[in-house]
Amino acid sequence: MKDVYGSTWTLQLMIGFILLFVAFLTLTISYSKVFSMKNEVISILEKYRGYNDTSSTLINNFLRNSNYTTTGTCFDDENPVENPMLAVDNLAANPNVANEGDRYLFCIEQERKEGFKDTLTRVNYEVTLFYRFNLPIIGNIATFRVKGKTTDMIDREDFFD
């Protein structure tokens, strides 16, 4: 009778490790996919010198073709946002100013640095995308942010003056 209890405990331990491994694998694959998408969005912003009509259309098309559907809140309680943040809640629509508590597909914050070489303004963008920790049987466990910044660019208005 002792052997029955011992083998049941061993089987439960094996199932627990398998579930833990699947959860880790799911988290890693999801993070990797969103991380590469964030890098592509940053590349588009840098190539088209900021968030404008062309870059907005390319970003929306890229995310739509990548089947990106995860939403999250743009504002972080620990790090308050100093600048207005643009957010997209529908990949077929134009961005809106983000509201606290609303859920969006991605968020873009513009940071301006005045007084570069006396007259020029440097600009960089912080992009926030979201990924979800979702297990097949259990469901959605948590949503996390993936953030990235572009390199400093000269503001388009200063550049074309």
pLDDT-based confidence at 157, cuts 50/70/90? Answer: low
Residue that has been written with the tokens 């390199």 in this structure: 151
Task: Please give the mean pLDDT across all residues of the chain.
Answer: 81
Work out the end-to-end distance of the chain between its first and last CA atoms, rounded to an integer number of angstroms.
87
Q: Which of 145, 123, 130, 102 is nearest to 51 (CA)?
A: 123
Say if residues 106 and 96 touch (Cβ distance below 8 Å). Answer: no
Structural domain of 155: 2-159
DSSP state letter for 94 = -
Q: Count Cα neighbours of 147 within 13 Å in the Cβ-side half-sphere.
A: 13
pLDDT for residue 104 is more than 80: yes
For 120, the token pair is: 């020029």
Query: Which band of pLDDT confidence, cut at 50, 70 and 90, is reported for residue 135?
Result: low
What is the average pLDDT across 1-30?
80
Q: Answer for the pair 124, 32: CB distance below 8 angstroms, yes or no.
A: no
* Residue 30 pLDDT greater than 60, yes or no: yes
Q: How far does CA 35 lie from the centroid of its chain?
A: 7
Split into its structural domains, the chain has a count of 1
* Averaged pLDDT for residues 20-49: 88
Tell me which of 5 and 20 has the higher pLDDT: 20
At what angle are helices 2-47 and 53-65 packed, to 10 degrees?
150
Nearest to 38 by CA among 63, 55, 65, 56: 63
Please compute the mean of the pLDDT values over residues 119-148 and round it to a whole number. 81
Give the model's pLDDT for residue 99: 80
Q: Picking from 26-30, 128-132, 151-155, which range would have the lowest pLDDT averaged per residue?
A: 151-155
The two tokens of residue 34 are 């969103």
Write out pLDDT tens, residues 41-95. Answer: 999 999 988 888 888 899 989 998 998 888 888 877 665 666 677 888 888 777 8
- Tally of residues, the chain: 161
pLDDT computed for residue 159 by the predictor: 43
Q: Mean pLDDT over residues 11-23, rounded? A: 88
